[in-house]
Amino acid sequence: MTASEGADHQVQAISSDEDVVRVRQLVRVAAVAAKLSLVDQTKVVTAASELARNTLVYGGGGRAEVSRVANGLRNGVRIVFSDSGPGIADVDLALTDGYTTGGGMGLGLSGARRLVDEFRLDTTVGAGTTVAVVKWAR
């Protein structure tokens, strides 16, 4: 699927709790603009919130890029989270419900994956992690 970027493209640094809130707000605005349903807006905002928090807590900070995308049939929202943190040694394990190295619920990555239409995680130990998600309007 080739998704071309829309005009809207926002980059938000993630280095504090307030930045996580800003990411949530940017994603909400982009989801409204892409005409996602209220339920789907909430799903993508929730996923983005979990992923932004991981970028902050485990990645040591990083950034989120929020874009409106279109594939000719549908509009959607893409968010790419990236950090230069320690990376993830075992991705399958990290995506397992309940797995956490930080005393959390261990449902952030797995839950986020279920809430979006496209989910891609690229990580290199010692170099960092990138998580890209897309939610399409139905």
Ligand X SMILES: Nc1ncnc2c1ncn2[C@@H]1O[C@H](COP(=O)(O)OP(=O)(O)O)[C@@H](O)[C@H]1O
- Interface with Mg ion (CB under 5 A), residue from 62, 76, 108, 128: 108
Cα separation, 63 vs 103, whole angstroms: 23
Closer by beta carbon to Mg ion, 72 or else 98: 98
Query: Are 70 and 6 spatial neighbours (Cβ–Cβ below 8 Å)?
Result: yes
* The one among 86, 117, 118, 137 contacting ligand X by CB under 6 A: 86
Q: Which does 129 bind (CB under 5 to 8 A by kind): ligand X, Mg ion, none?
A: ligand X
Residue 107 interacting partner from ligand X, Mg ion, none (CB closer than 5 to 8 Å by kind):
ligand X
Partner in contact with 101, chosen from Mg ion, ligand X, none, beta carbon below 5 to 8 Å by kind: ligand X
Q: Are 20 and 81 in contact (CB under 8 A)?
A: no
Contacting residues for 31 by C-beta, under 8 A, at least 6 apart: 40, 41, 44, 45, 77, 135
